[in-house]
Structure 1
Amino acid sequence: MNLILTVLEIVAPVGILAGVGFAWVKAGFDYPMAFVSRLAMTLATPCLIFTALMQTEIGPSALTKLLFAAIAAYALLTLVFWGLTVALRLERRTYLSPLIFGNTGNLGLPLALFAFGQTGLGYAVVIFAVAGIWGFTFGVWLVSQGGSPLRVLKEPLVAGTLLGALFLWQGWQTPGWLTNALELLGQMAIPLMLITLGVAVARLAPGRLGQAMWLSVLRVVVCVAVGVGVGHVFALDPVAIAVLVLQVSTPVAVTTYMLAGKYGADADAVAGMVIVSTVLSIITLPLTLAFVI
């Protein structure tokens, strides 16, 4: 019973805030998705990442170990899912990105924070940064069938990650007044991302739901197995393993749908995976949390 209540306390805030966004759109209210997403991704989230890294009490060696574990995890996921798309004869530019990339920002960061506190958030931002960089380079290249990977250097979340890592490594701290301002900006990120997730799900036009169902189930199984396996290979501490498993197994990222629509892949099929995996997460996320807690 205590485990059920603990999992409910972690999952409920996430579901409520995403539900607010979903209900907001269904009620007919306007929600400027482009503006809010830009605000979250170019200002609030980089501030959240920077302050979380700068103030983390996790040792640099532990974060470095997690960094390499996250890189290995996403490399392995890419290879496994690449093989699956070949074996199942799925169009790679449509299906590979949604199989690899989960909502490590919208869902992963708040879940890690609610489940494991500031330590969990410190670990989660490292994995989020790895996923973001891989998504903005390989993910965009895959869907667009071209483009320069150097565009990732223009992303504010990369700048926030690198600057936060530098401050952590050197033991630097920003002045108190600046830290307070950055923390206030960063505190916007999680509620904005969750509400935006609900809005995005409400606006999607899904397709191929039957295929999306079994692909989503297969994806969760593979991601959990990879997260656990890589975590043990790198001898991560229990909280780091739990956060790694949680992050890589989050539902399909909404950004994969946006990229599919932008570059002419099958956006409806990706939308189906986003919706099905998000709905399925009502079951899979509590089970995953119960497994890792």
Structure 2
Amino acid sequence: MQGVFTGFVTIAVVIGVGALLAHLRIVDLGAQQVLSRIAFFVASPALMVITLGRADVHDVLSANLVASGAAVVVCVALYAALARWVWHRGLGEGTIGALCASYVNAGNLGIPVASYVLGDAALVAPTLLLQLLVLQPLALAFLDADARGRPTSVWQVVGRPFKNPLTLGSLAGLGLSLTGWTLPPIVRDPLTLIGNMAVPCMLIAYGIALRLGPGLGRAGSVGELATTSTIKLLVQPAVAWFVGAVVLGVDGAALLAIVVTSALPTAQNIFVHATRYDRGTTLARDTILITTVGAVPVILLAAAVLG
């Protein structure tokens, strides 16, 4: 429990540095975008190559992937039913709402939390790959279909994940782990150095965004906002725990990793998708803010109970 608390304090301090830099006008949203791009396109892929390359891929992907996937399916189905029969949302709005209720911030916060709270950045890989290879391509296909009025081609859905640097870095790391290959020092050392930038870049950029970004506004439906936030913060980690502990018999640190990754807040890129397609933008923004704040006590509680 003390290690978890120390990890969160470390993360909070670095986020606070970003917020302070923005408050003092040393940096602006332009700097936040630059840091985010460096982390997304360069540092995070390098980090995943190194961390996954030296991880036991069977331990990383087995129970964690099953439990995380089951939690996502339950949350998406629960929100979809309410969106269809209670709020009568269309395809685009319903897709954004489903992402708000199930798509975790596995990159910007998941990697730091896995690194400093769980002690291994590779533990976020199953959730990251599930989202990048399955959930996000399907969601974008639905959003494209809603925007264009016609379905997206199969090749576009299949090919979309392989244009994502995080996906490519994760797959490269998995390939190294599966084959047992070791990168030569001339390749491994620069990748390690670059990968070490990922976490501080993400956290400082996030702090800048918190200080300079928009505050909490009114969602189109307070009930819908409460529902997406509750599903994300409580239902998703609860289902992940049930599948992991009761169905699969996982315990200890492995179970804590499953629950913590499922309790991560809604990913910030959901707001990017909502803005791009002009669907559910306020709901996305407000769910991200509420779950980001609410995830901390949920994860600390999980650590106290399971740690």
> TM-score with structure 2 length normalisation?
0.84
Shift of residue 237, structure 1, vs aligned partner? 4.9
1:272 to 286, 291, 294: 286
Question: Contact (CA 8 Å) 2:100, 2:228: kept in 1 or not?
Answer: no
Aligned residues: percent identity?
Answer: 23
Cα-to-partner distance string for 1:207-239 (whole Å, 9 max, x where unaligned): 226553564234211011111022132344532
C-alpha distance in 2 between matches for 1:215 and 1:18? 25
Shift of residue 245, structure 1, vs aligned partner? 1.2
C-alpha distance in 2 between matches for 1:84 and 1:276? 20
How has the CA–CA distance of structure 1 residues 17 and 133 changed in structure 2, closer, same or farther, with 3 Å as cutoff?
farther
Query: Is 2:178 the partner of 1:169?
Result: yes
Tell me the SS of whatever aligns to 1:105. Answer: coil
Question: Contact (CA 8 Å) 1:200, 1:254: kept in 2 or not?
Answer: no
| 2:106 alignment partner AA | T
Structure 1: stretches of 5+ with no match in the other structure: none
Shift of residue 62, structure 1, vs aligned partner? 2.1
Over aligned residue pairs, what C-alpha RMSD do you find? Answer: 2.3
Tell me the SS of whatever aligns to 2:81. Answer: helix
Cα-to-partner distance string for 1:125-168 (whole Å, 9 max, x where unaligned): 23222223334302323444364322111111111121111111
Equivalent residue, structure 2, for 1:284: 298
2:254 to 240, 244, 253: 240
Equivalent residue, structure 1, for 2:41: 42
Show the 5 A alignment for 1:99-138.
99-118=101-120, 121-138=121-138
Question: Contact (CA 8 Å) 1:205, 1:268: kept in 2 or not?
Answer: no
| 1:35 alignment partner AA | V
Question: Contact (CA 8 Å) 2:71, 2:237: kept in 1 or not?
Answer: no
C-alpha distance in 1 between matches for 2:258 and 2:201? 23
Equivalent residue, structure 2, for 1:260: 274
> TM-score with structure 1 length normalisation?
0.87
Question: Contact (CA 8 Å) 2:33, 2:205: kept in 1 or not?
Answer: no
Equivalent residue, structure 1, for 2:4: 7
Equivalent residue, structure 2, for 1:80: 78
Show the 5 A alignment for 1:56-205.
56=55, 58=56, 60-65=57-62, 66-89=64-87, 91-118=93-120, 121-144=121-144, 145=146, 147=152, 148-149=156-157, 150-202=159-211, 203-205=213-215
Shift of residue 178, structure 1, vs aligned partner? 1.5
Shift of residue 244, structure 1, vs aligned partner? 1.7
Equivalent residue, structure 2, for 1:18: 15
Cα-to-partner distance string for 1:81-113 (whole Å, 9 max, x where unaligned): 322333441541331111111211222222222
Count of equivalent residues: 286
C-alpha distance in 1 between matches for 2:105 and 2:51? 19
How has the CA–CA distance of structure 1 residues 7 and 230 changed in structure 2, closer, same or farther, with 3 Å as cutoff?
same
How has the CA–CA distance of structure 1 residues 134 and 24 changed in structure 2, closer, same or farther, with 3 Å as cutoff?
farther
Cα-to-partner distance string for 1:259-284 (whole Å, 9 max, x where unaligned): 11111013122211111221223422
Question: Contact (CA 8 Å) 2:11, 2:203: kept in 1 or not?
Answer: yes
